[in-house]
A and B are shown apart, each in its own frame.
Chain A
Amino acid sequence: MKIKAFISIILFLIVSLFLISATKKIFAPTPIILDIPTNFPPLPNKIFAKNPLTEQGFLLGKKLFFDASLSKTNDISCASCHQPFAAFANYYHDFSHGVNNSFTTRNAPSLVNLLWMKNWHWDGGVNHLEVQPLSPLTAPNEMGQHLDTLLNILKQNVEYKNMFAAAFGDEKITSQRMLWALNQFTGSLISANSKYDLVKNGNATFIEPEQKGYELFKANCNSCHKEPLFTDNSFRNNGVGLNANNDIGRQGITQIKTDYLKFKVPTLRNIGLTLPYMHDGRYAILEDVIKHYSNINPTTTNLDVALTKKIIFTEKEQQQLILFLYTLTDTSFTKNKRFNM
């Protein structure tokens, strides 16, 4: 008798569990398989291991990226300083504009091929792409927002509620989910379809000055701006010296003396669109950058060894080098509707 009762209780539990699961909508977001360029090195991190890349997560991240209502004053979005047409750098701005007419203290970097980095920001202070957005979202001279206020803004928005549910299975809005969605968008920003890439893949040819420029590049620039990412993602002191912000770069993160004035080597991909140049945007045009490398004082404190010998170009060589650098512009990336609002 007792066993019969026990069996019927078990049966009842099984049936009710089945009914509950049948009434619940099945959560099945559309997975995205990231298109990794064949000529790129393997990814250094498993960034989407815990945060699987899906169409719904990507679209939510894109909406967040372009949404100015995330900022304290409702007027600055991530895209304000990372503009798609400028390869997600800030066109023609040495420093960018934060809330309440403030300035940032460094030049907004181009957001491309972020998955191939091991740390982010000019000083490498951010050690995981997921947590990077916390910096610009909360900095008083960027988007100036408190994290709890920001999450409340999202929670009160029906569209966001629906998009979080579509991306993560329910309407719960948390800092982790917000950061995961943003990571899905920024991690997807891969630029690998410039003329340079077409030439490398045998689908185009350089004109003669571009080819000459490429050779000059390989002989003089490739040790730091390493192909095919056009950066080795290392930190180096390139001799520009201390600026008015007293920005010591990498040393501020590591507290190591020999990291004084070291900054992350930026990618040269889309360099024709990411002006002005250097960590503080001090050089408006490429000619100025090249001139800098011909005029470095070799006794500069902590200067990178690769730069102790001056790099001198003739005027013609300079033009050839710049023509080559323009072949790194990837308009199929900057004009991609998928990355634009």
Chain B
Amino acid sequence: MTKNLLLFFLLFICCLAKAQQQNIKIIFSHVANSKKVILNDSVYTNLHGETYTITKLKYYVSNIGFVQEPQNLITPSVYLVNAANNEPIIIPAPINKFTAITFLLGVDSVYNYSGAQTGALDPLNDMFWVWNTGYIMFKLEGKSPASTQYNKIEYHIGGYKAPYKTMQQITLPISNIINNTVNIQLDVDAFWAKNKNTSIAKMPVVTTTGALTANIANNFKHMFTIIN
């Protein structure tokens, strides 16, 4: 009898703990020229005065973490954000107040050399290099009259090995949360660093690993802001 009561008590505690856990919704939105990104539609102008449209914008977000006391909470999952569907990411969040959200833009190196994967990492998602194994961490495709390559722009940013790693650790301070939702905005303008060498005319297509790709990836940390 006492045993049963104990069991009930334990179950009750478990339920209580579960109830206190909340889900946090993370919504990634995308802008260029302060305009909402609409695929295959709007025309944008980059920092070099070149016009372009966007046909694809996809990237991996993994190891989402909440900076909090006494210990940060990190979810070791991989999500594929796709501007074509803008599906929010929903993860169990801490009950404590957190001061920043962190994530890895890209896929942890171990997944890049561990063979056939499933889910967000399934090669079906068209984010996998088959000729030089590894994930494309960030993909931006579109059209631009400034491109000398059939007016196409194609940026497949990947590479998991030093010195050309492209994964980027992003930390975004956060002050208030409304409705358990975190709104993160990616500004495509930041992709074109204020540097002449990153113009569409100079580099319309970047689809291999190397110094240029790693350099572009370095810029990723300036692309994201919290817009809560």
Contact = CB atoms under 8 A, between A and B. Distances in A.
B123 A147 contact: yes
Interface in B116-145: 116-118, 122-124, 128, 130-134
Contacts of A204: none
Contacts of A127: 112-113, 133-134
B130 to A, nearest CB: 4
A176 interface: yes
A216 B169 CA distance: 55
Interface of B: 1, 4, 112-118, 122-124, 128, 130-134, 164, 208-211
A148 B124 contact: yes
Given A50-B115, A121-B131, A127-B134, 18 more contacts: A3-B4, A6-B4, A125-B131, A125-B133, A126-B130, A127-B133, A128-B133, A131-B128, A135-B131, A139-B131, A148-B124, A174-B118, A175-B116, A175-B123, A179-B116, A183-B116, A255-B164, A255-B209
Contact of A131 (B1, B4, B115): B115
A254 to B, nearest CB: 8
A151 B133 contact: no
A253 interface: yes
17 contacts: A6-B4, A125-B132, A127-B113, A127-B134, A128-B114, A131-B128, A131-B130, A138-B130, A147-B123, A174-B118, A174-B122, A175-B116, A176-B117, A180-B116, A183-B115, A252-B132, A255-B211
A135 B210 CA distance: 21
A135 B130 contact: yes
A186 to B, nearest CB: 13
Contacts of A183: 115-116
Contacts of B133: 125-128, 131
Nearest 3 pairs between A and B by C-beta? A130-B115, A179-B116, A134-B130
A271 interface: no
Interface residues of A, number: 28
A129 interface: yes
A130 B124 CA distance: 15
A138 B134 CA distance: 16
Nearest to B7: A6
Contact of B132 (A148, A151, A174, A253): A253
A91 B123 CA distance: 31
A130 B132 contact: no
A314 to B, nearest CB: 43
A89 B38 CA distance: 49
A125 B128 CA distance: 13
B96 to A, nearest CB: 34
A259 to B, nearest CB: 12
Contacts of A148: 124
A16 to B, nearest CB: 20
Contact of B210 (A128, A134, A255): A255
A6 B8 CA distance: 10
A253 B129 CA distance: 11
Nearest to B8: A6
Contact of A128 (B115, B208, B209): B115
B122 A175 contact: yes
Contacts of A175: 116, 118, 122-124
A245 to B, nearest CB: 14
Given A148-B124, A255-B164, A255-B210, A131 B132 contact: no
B18 to A, nearest CB: 19
A255 B114 CA distance: 22
Nearest to B131: A125
A180 B118 CA distance: 12
